[in-house]
Chain A
């Protein structure tokens, strides 16, 4: 059984039946799933959640789908790690990392896709589709394979090899589209109108987006049933950002945590920063941009939820930052070298923006901060491949090793003394 009650327009509040539709006929506002919170409150408790499976389906009552149709390949309930060394490097006393790189297809997109494909099955769709720069494509292909559904996956033709193979291995119909980012956008919008597929982020978007709330549920549960002081979240469409805030609010509404005082702050790449730019200008209206950044998974120039992300920042006293491509690479390396987590370039954006927020005083050293790391680094090795130290190359000989090590240490010492 599910507790979703209707779709509701976020702008004008008009109600719609629970169909595969995504926008209001009157004002074009986005539709969002509404729930019967009273009924959920009667059945859900900290104990019932803790007794659930170690996946996002432990929050099944809060997901917009009948769990009988669920496609669960082990997504969610990922680790929340105390980041002492990164915190020390940045000057934060209580820093936590939500490590969503360990999902089945190595990104947080598994959360939204798990929900979208389950709802699509409930609707009776036989095929899934998406347009993606990688992570969403990987996840749709993986989940469709597990559900025995057909999958049509559209990707730009210049994508990193790791992301192409990461979809192809699940044997979807993989389509590499020639042309600019805007051409891919246009083609896929058109196809979504002419094919009866569940396009995960178009006709089943209201359901799909709800999967992101589970990140907030997990953080609250893992912190011992409370929300943090500050959350730093990467922003592409802005949907993840707004849904994490919604998740904290819902948990409070259900009496599972105290009213959240969390400040919500967002991270973007400088090469695609429509939301951060609007924030800096003090505007709630962003101007679309043409993406040009190594952080391909955040490259959304015309973000569907940009306005709502800006409203959330205003409401919570949060903010937004942006990081240049070199800063993004430094962010990836800093996280790897301090916490042993290899993130893709989007995670580099988040860490680099966190650093900027601490340096500017936007985040105070004593604020308990959770940073969301949403994708794994092996997907985008190209971004950092040339930035790592050269390995020592030696013959299989112990003295050659000692010599090479001494030479390396001398170089490191030289660099250090030059720098001091």
Chain B
């Protein structure tokens, strides 16, 4: 088992989608919301995911395909100038 902390950012057309519910139901993942802010123009959620590493990647891959931006939650970008 592994844990991963990610920040998901939703554009307006995705705000109404139950993405986190589906991550926990359609993938073998435990989701734990740690911080969030959602309004009518944009939404973001800092999420801890627990599961097998391959399953975490599969779940996040699905979210990306849906159009959700997935970033590492604690580091921000690791590529620096």
Give the interface of A toward B (CB within 8 A).
Answer: 22-23, 27-28, 30, 109, 130-136, 154, 156, 181, 184-185, 188-189, 192, 199, 201-202, 205, 236-237, 285, 287-288, 296-306, 346, 375
Chain B nearest CB from A267 CB (Å) reads 13
Q: Nearest residue in A to B5 (C-beta to C-beta)?
A: A28
Closest-CB distance, A80 to chain B (whole angstroms)? 22
- Interface of chain A, main secondary structure: mixed
Chain B min CB distance to A212 (Å): 12
Q: Which of B44, B69, B80 counts the most A-chain CB atoms under 10 A from its CB?
A: B80
- B14 in the interface, Cβ–Cβ < 8 Å? no
Subset of 14 A-B contacts with CB under 8 Å: A27-B34, A28-B34, A154-B79, A189-B75, A201-B78, A237-B76, A237-B77, A288-B9, A300-B79, A300-B80, A302-B76, A303-B76, A303-B77, A304-B75
Check: B71 CB closer than 8 A to any chain A CB.
yes
- Bits for B32-55, please: 1 = Cβ < 8 Å to A, else 0: 001101000010101000000000
| Cα-based distance from A241 to B71 in the complex (angstroms) | 22
**B79 adjacent to A184 (CB under 8 Å):** yes
Residues of A within 8 A of B78 (CB): 131, 185, 188-189, 192, 199, 201-202
In the bound complex, do residue B77 and residue A287 qualify as a contact, i.e. CB atoms below 8 Å apart?
no
Look across to chain B and name the residue whose beta carbon is closest to the beta carbon of A155: B79
Task: Number of B interface residues at 8 Å Cβ cutoff, please give it.
Answer: 21
The answer, among B34, B42, B81, for a CB contact under 8 Å with A300, is B81
Give chain B's interface residues, CB within 8 Å of chain A.
Answer: 5, 7, 9, 34-35, 37, 42, 44, 46, 69, 71-81
Q: Is the CB of B72 within 8 A of A189?
A: yes
Partner of B80, one of A28, A131, A287, A306: A131
A28 contacts B46, C-beta separation under 8 Å: yes
Chain A positions within 8 Å of B34 at CB level: 27-28
| Bound CA span A156–B79, Å | 9
B41, chain A: closest CB distance, angstroms: 9
| Contact status B81-A185, CB under 8 Å | no
